[in-house]
Amino acid sequence: MRDELQAFLDGELGLDELPAELRTEAERWERLLADFRALGPESAPAGLEFRVRRSLPALRQRSAARRAAEWVVRPRSIRVSPLAGLAAAAALAFVILLPRGQMPDPSGALESGPSATATIYVQFMLEAPSAQSVAVAGDFNSWMPELVLTDPDGDGVWSGRVALKPGVHQYMFVIDESQWLTDPGADRYVDDGFGNRNAVLVIPEPATS
Amino acid sequence: MTAGASELSDGAVVRAVLNGKAELYSILVKRYQDTLYSYAHRMTGQSDEATDIVQASFVKGFENLEHCRDAERVGAWLFRINVNQCKDFLKNPRRKDVQLDDATRLQSDRDDPEASAERGQLRQRIAWALLRLTAEEREAFVLKHIEGFSYSEMSRMLDVSVPALKMRVHRARDDLQSLLEDYE
């Protein structure tokens, strides 16, 4: 093949820069390359994703780690007031919806989530005495564990508030920045598509007066 | 998959996986399996081998994810792993000679259902010709003309100089011109 045609196919020469006798050949090559690009297949065979998942041992180890985390924070009574009544139900973790008007000090809310007018403050709480840190990740923060709960009195009960818009939200707790834990105290769950469950939080629209 | 999770950027998925939510790696598999598979199939001509290569690429990617320097470009990083997996496969002296399998033939027909039988045969010919190139020439040709990489991008990906890659592509074109002399 002549050097000028190679240069054209390398994008170094334009068609109009080629000698006239090479232009027909250049156009033929363009059609040929288009046919090469159209060669299939374009889609991976069904089941490839499943095969990848099945061949990832770390995913299986991850499941074991999650089971261990669930054991560490197994249900026990929560020693916080005024929620002792709920604690008697042996709830491990739960979410409390706090209408905005009932929040005496909204400045204490976690700095995340929407700030639009129709917001509800949500109190997340988890008893995890062995944890060094607890955070909440959900679809409201792109699943980044940025909502860090606090345990100021060191009793192992971690809590924090966040302002969320009404709607259906999914979330998980993240313990020690690595272990993801489904909230066992949630009212509803949804399969996350990866063999685990996300907790579902439904925040109703505030009543209008 | 949750709607929220599926909307995560590549960087957010990588960070979440590295932070322990390993299940989210499936998002990357879903996003890039077609791209990786198409390349592997063009390089091997075989569906089964291409599937094995892509599976191995994703496993290697998962195991080395912390070494991905630019999480937002994890797709390019996985593609590079896939290219190297194909290279290793084609270097293996025990592998069978590559040849066109049924999937390629069927896909050729599916691309244009109304195409004539003659047209389908022509497309099979170019698939056959691609597999007649040496592995190095085919790799360079596919990356340049099918995947659309520049020579400098290919050089970084393969750790081969731009002049050497140009030479491989030029040789590939020369060989294809001979193999497809009467292709129209």
Per-residue pLDDT tens digits for A152-191: 878 778 888 888 888 888 888 888 877 888 887 788 888 8
Closest CA to A145 of A179, A116, A114: A179
Say yes or no for a CB contact (<8 Å) between A139 and B3: yes
Say yes or no: B29 contacts chain A, CB-CB below 8 A.
Answer: yes
- pLDDT tens digits for range A123-138: 888 888 888 888 888 8
CB < 8 Å to B184, chain A: 28, 31
CB < 8 Å to B29, chain A: 48-49, 52-53
Whether the pLDDT of residue A107 is over 60: the answer is no
CB < 8 Å to B3, chain A: 139
Say yes or no for a CB contact (<8 Å) between A44 and B36: yes
Confidence at residue A105, expressed as pLDDT on a 0 to 100 scale = 41
Whether the pLDDT of residue B33 is over 70: the answer is yes
| Cα separation values, B56 from A52, B17, B76, B88, Å | 8, 18, 16, 11
ipTM for the whole complex: 0.76
Break chain A down into helix, strand, coil percent, rounded to 5: 30, 25, 45
pTM for this structure? 0.58
Say which of B8, B26, B110 has its CB closest to residue A143.
B8
- pLDDT tens digits for range B141-155: 999 999 999 999 999
Enter the tokens of residue B41: 């199939």
Average pLDDT, chain B: 83
Type of residue at B97? D
Contacts of A77 (CB under 8 A, 6+ apart): A87, A88, A90
In a mutational test of the A interface, the residue from B15, B18, B55 whose CB has the highest number of chain A CBs within 10 Å is B55
| Cα separation values, A166 from A35, A98, A192, A209, Å | 52, 12, 21, 17
Angstroms from A56 CA to nearest CA on chain B: 6
- pLDDT tens digits for range B52-92: 999 999 999 998 998 998 999 999 999 999 999 999 998 87
The answer to whether B141 and B172 have CB atoms below 8 angstroms apart is: yes
CB < 8 Å to B62, chain A: 56, 58
With pLDDT > 70 as the criterion, what percentage of chain B qualifies? Answer: 80
Mean pLDDT computed over A9-33: 89
Instruction: Give the chain B residue nearest A140 (alpha carbons).
Output: B4
Say yes or no for a CB contact (<8 Å) between B130 and A39: yes
CB < 8 Å to B146, chain A: 36-37, 39
Average pLDDT, chain A: 71
Range of lowest pLDDT (A34-43, A83-92, B14-23): A83-92
Closest CA to B123 of A39, A25, A23: A39
In a mutational test of the A interface, the residue from B10, B23, B143 whose CB has the highest number of chain A CBs within 10 Å is B23
CB < 8 Å to A32, chain B: 126, 176, 180, 183
